[in-house]
Amino acid sequence: MIACAPTSPSDTSAQRKPAPVQSFKVIATFPHDTSSFTQGLVFADGQLYESTGLEGESTLRRVDLATGQTLQRIDVAAQYFAEGLALVGDELLQLTWRNQIGFVYDKATFQPKRTFSYKTEGWGIAYDGTSQLVMSDGSDTLTFLDPKTFSVTKTLRVQDVGRTVGNLNELEWIEGEIWANVWMTDRIARISPNTGAVNAWVDLSALFPQSQRTPPADVLNGIAYDKAARRIFITGKKWPRLYQITVS
């Protein structure tokens, strides 16, 4: 079973009406640490890498998918509120919210290697696997970065039939699209990296019942993609479960 159906990022005629809303199916459910205020999620080598937030509680973790247990962890200095996470080669890149600084770690050891800076807030970050990083700052604009120099290569406003889409948060690059959590909603936008158009929305409102959440913090936030097996993983801040889903 494939992870998601293809869309048509370059078809402008398809953008004359609002992007379609897609449903989902849960394929598998895994435990998730309820102390984890999920800000960024990456899948690699059969395991999850997770950036968690809150000042004084921020961490970088390597997590066993099957059990949800933390196998490796480094605490982020108390003055930082950690945000999005991306894997570039053998390095993990972690953003911070308002400090305009990112951390680069060795993937195997979690040893800090260097830092990088940016001029906006840091929310989500993802890597296309070849040549581009894309970063969100909570606005309707995505910023593309060179993965070696972290210099800005372009910016892109995200729109659905001319209406801008703000509160873009955690990001993941999936099969030629940027998937973005929209903060404080249960929707994910599937975005064309070429035009900024929303190709489709994924409605996850039925994934984890509102009655079991602690509002307003415990929102949907966390997308990881297993490219080899085409598996999509979804979770939220302090959620007790992580879900593997397919999208219709």
- DSSP of 36-62, one letter per residue? --EEEEEEETTEEEEEE-STTT-EEEE
- Output the pLDDT for position 217: 74
Domain boundaries, the chain: 19-247
More confident residue, 13 or 91: 91
Q: In CATH, what class is 19-247?
A: mainly beta
Q: What is the pLDDT of residues 94-132, one digit of tens each?
A: 999 999 999 999 999 999 999 999 999 999 999 999 999
What was the pLDDT predicted at 4? 54
- Torsions phi, psi for 197 (to 5 deg): -75, 140
- Decide if 164 contacts 139 (C-beta within 8 A): no
pTM > 0.85: yes or no: yes
Here the tokens at position 203 are 């409605």
For residue 135, what pLDDT is reported?
98
| Amino acid letter, residue 2 | I
Is residue 229 over pLDDT 90? yes
Query: CA dist 42 to 14, 63, 172, 187, Å?
Result: 31, 10, 8, 19
Lowest mean pLDDT across 190-199, 208-217, 239-248: 208-217
pLDDT at 8: 46
Stated length of the chain: 248
Q: What percent of the chain has pLDDT over 70?
A: 94
